[in-house]
Structure 1
């Protein structure tokens, strides 16, 4: 679930592309490879003085940050846990778990929904079975399942690709989050309903996938012989003493009564329904902050929590350190965790979002420190994302500061040249591609714009104020946020930027420049123009009738010419309604996740059938009408408009075909 809407609107690692980069880009990226943490750490003489990481200081800092942040963001409550050196340093609740009863958040008792942080438990389970020799990270996953994942370019999906989100799957959204427990289907059934297409070459392009994670959970279930939730309870929760955690759906009553309510905004005061995750291993966990502390301690301790052990030390090191390279020097995707190294400190993490709960877990591996935060409201204008980002970054800057990085920089001329090269419209690698929801790639294209001073801005990278962040080039094809430490890097082929990514998205998605005929920069204006021509044609129909009646002017066309004229207007109305219904459906689904439930299947099928019938017939009628107009004695303007209408209908038919609107079914 992590960043699902961003993925859709955008909607967040590549040897194959890097091999084609020009020498200057290769040299720049080679020079900017991340250095080991010990080499990057400042010398004692240059070290920045930091407060001691102890309970009193952390609590005072959090008390000064979170209450105001939650109030400003219109968020009901939060839990924060900090662990250090194998013990819980601080666990604290802020705000309310239930606004109606004013029940406070209790880190020991109140359960939150960590969303995609759940994946870390799935990955841990996979690595347990790898350690036991029951799974092979590099084997074809079809060896372990009872249905087939088709090969791509002759290459199968492997668990290593699944753990690094490089299996190449397109995004799957249908029934990801539902509110009716009766509609929760068994994991295997959910996976077999529709296998997403593999739109990227395996092992090279990161594309975050809930489906792939659920597939890994299904493999755990089949190989272990235990239901997935039972396996996690027995092999992870029980050894760690996590007795207030569960993947089960519905949640056991004894835990459900302690579950924090989820809210859109605290000011609304209306609790939302419990969210059921159809691909449970990807995000169905419910847990207390205290339990999450135990999980963090185990991973920081090389798989051990006291006398209990969930992973061997070498397996834990492998999980934390083996990764898939990102673009240039950007943070990588490890085996399940994504790298978030900052200030010269090695760090791994995972974030998570349902509709109402928003969480983050961060581990500073070499420092034995972890921090977990979860909030139970969506809040105002993306506040949760800004709060958790500022919290984790502020924590790192306070307790693990470092001098500013010394980058060589680039000339003003090169900065402006490279800004022009990267400018344009991009689509996210994490996207729907073979279904009608591929229209989201047009409506939510990621745009990079050059600024006059040589900096660039990215449409989805916004500061807490809502203004676009500015990125300044600090080395060839490497930019840095002017107000922070996040970096942006691009891959270049023959002087042209083909794709880029930026932190924190880099481990899980890249942004690719589409081929010209698929470019949103071209298609979106043509889509708008075509719809405008249809709308003006439809509006002109009754207006011309009224004008003729008012002035007593007869309808001048007759015979085939009159029929063609009338049919063209009918076609314009039908195509406009059909395409409007499709676009309205897509926009509605992007803005309201409940519309992706199975309840909408009938509506989706009906709208697609309407488009399948109307778009080809409408295009044929408009083309015939244009042919009749060109042969007639109509005025030049009337002929030109008839041709424009025909081209508009033909273009919308082409959109319907290439964006998979035409067809039948509700798999997406």
Structure 2
């Protein structure tokens, strides 16, 4: 059973994350009718401008839950078959036998076998996941590069497969969600961003959530500091960035309050119907972008908070920014937190990320926020 919401413990826990090395972070925790909102640290290390809890933030792969919900809405109205082959809708993007074998469901739960396009779009990351052989140069090279989704999809589709079609464990890949964006465009006649905005964001009444219309984040926001495993020292601000490199996979801008509202309404059956929500919670084993085995549903994944049971949600990262949103299965307890530093772990001689005090401090904050009593920080996905 969850512990009651403890404002003093939450204030201390969020401050500890800042002291551990995150320049700034902010969060909202809900427990029934009770709400705690807090922030610690700075939005700009040069000026000392503080972070505040209502700042807008690039939420990375939390976008995937919005995109998955939009697809399932189209499944409900009969425009998309969840277990239909993607080649039925997008034969030019996924041609031949793979197009006939890969289903819409496999795209949503990352069991398509399609490779991640990112190392091909960003040449300095080509050695990923061998981190020691990567470098951050491409992050600067592509700060203002306009990518088209079909260009990126082509990179992922033409790359060597990362697993058997429909096989497990699947492998997390942004290629899957760019294809879902093209699928939405094909069946609705509008862009994926417009479809998701109209049918998900506006349906949920989210006032501060939107896809970017350029490289800037409009409204109050933090700078976003990327360290790339100690190779950028001091960490560099990437808050101004063309997000076409991830589009409907990970480009959404939101607030912690809006994220909590969205996940609360999703689990109340107000975004998709109850049968679709059950499909979203039907999981398969996959390998996360961090190389860790996790269970993944349709745009959602479960996380265990020791002492607090299993919660659901999604995490996300962009260059310099991270977000995690989670909710109890019954919708009673929720948390969304945003941080303005990413990839803070330096590499050991074998090229593996070393433990960092931030890891333990974030895990402790998640634990206190969700009423648990121990454990690791859940994975965040780009």
Q: Report the TM range for the smaller structure's normalisation.
A: 0.7 to 0.9
Which residue of the partner structure matches residue 319 of structure 1? Answer: 280
Q: Does 1:388 align with 2:362?
A: yes
CA distance in 2: counterparts of 1:154 and 1:187, whole angstroms: 17
Q: How does 1:617-632 map to 2 (within 5 A)?
A: none
Which residue of the partner structure matches residue 12 of structure 2? Answer: 64
Which residue of the partner structure matches residue 225 of structure 1? Answer: 189
Which residue of the partner structure matches residue 139 of structure 1? Answer: 84
Which residue of the partner structure matches residue 649 of structure 1? Answer: none
Conservation of the 8 A alpha-carbon contact between 1:80 and 1:374? yes
CA distance in 1: counterparts of 2:13 and 2:331, whole angstroms: 23
From 190, 202, 218, give the equivalent of 1:256: 218
RMSD (Å), alpha carbons: 3.2
Which residue of the partner structure matches residue 84 of structure 1? Answer: 31
Per mean C-alpha deviation after superposition, the further-off stretch among 117-126 and 177-186 is 177-186
Q: Does 1:183 align with 2:145?
A: yes
Which residue of the partner structure matches residue 368 of structure 1? Answer: 332
Which residue of the partner structure matches residue 41 of structure 2? Answer: 95
How far off its partner does 1:261 sit?
A: 0.7
Which residue of the partner structure matches residue 4 of structure 2? Answer: 52
Which residue of the partner structure matches residue 352 of structure 2? Answer: none
Which residue of the partner structure matches residue 378 of structure 1? Answer: 342
The higher radius of gyration belongs to: 1
Give the SS at the match of 1:104.
Answer: coil
CA distance in 1: counterparts of 2:296 and 2:343, whole angstroms: 29
Q: How does 1:203-242 map to 2 (within 5 A)?
A: 203-205=166-168, 206-242=170-206
User: Do the aligned partners of residues 93 and 221 (structure 1) sit closer, same or farther apart at CA in structure 2, a change above 3 Å counting?
Assistant: farther
Which residue of the partner structure matches residue 275 of structure 1? Answer: 241
Q: Deviations over 1:533-571 (max 9, x none)?
A: xxxxxxxxxxxxxxxxxxxxxxxxxxxxxxxxxxxxxxx
Structure with larger RCO (C-alpha < 8 A, sep 6+)? 2
Aligned length: 341
CA distance in 2: counterparts of 1:223 and 1:103, whole angstroms: 45
Q: How does 1:487-498 map to 2 (within 5 A)?
A: none
User: Do the aligned partners of residues 386 and 204 (structure 1) sit closer, same or farther apart at CA in structure 2, a change above 3 Å counting?
Assistant: farther
Conservation of the 8 A alpha-carbon contact between 1:147 and 1:192? no
How far off its partner does 1:135 sit?
A: 0.8
User: Do the aligned partners of residues 288 and 375 (structure 1) sit closer, same or farther apart at CA in structure 2, a change above 3 Å counting?
Assistant: same
- Normalised TM-score (structure 2): 0.78
Q: How does 1:462-611 map to 2 (within 5 A)?
A: none
Conservation of the 8 A alpha-carbon contact between 2:25 and 2:40? yes
How far off its partner does 1:269 sit?
A: 7.9
Q: Does 1:160 align with 2:105?
A: yes
CA distance in 1: counterparts of 2:3 and 2:155, whole angstroms: 53
Conservation of the 8 A alpha-carbon contact between 2:59 and 2:322? yes
User: Do the aligned partners of residues 313 and 288 (structure 1) sit closer, same or farther apart at CA in structure 2, a change above 3 Å counting?
Assistant: same
CA distance in 1: counterparts of 2:317 and 2:334, whole angstroms: 19
Q: Does 1:116 align with 2:32?
A: no
> Which structure 1 residue ranges, 5 or more long, are not aligned?
1-46, 305-309, 402-483, 487-502, 509-668
Give the SS at the match of 1:353.
Answer: strand
> Which structure 2 residue ranges, 5 or more long, are not aligned?
123-137, 288-292, 346-355
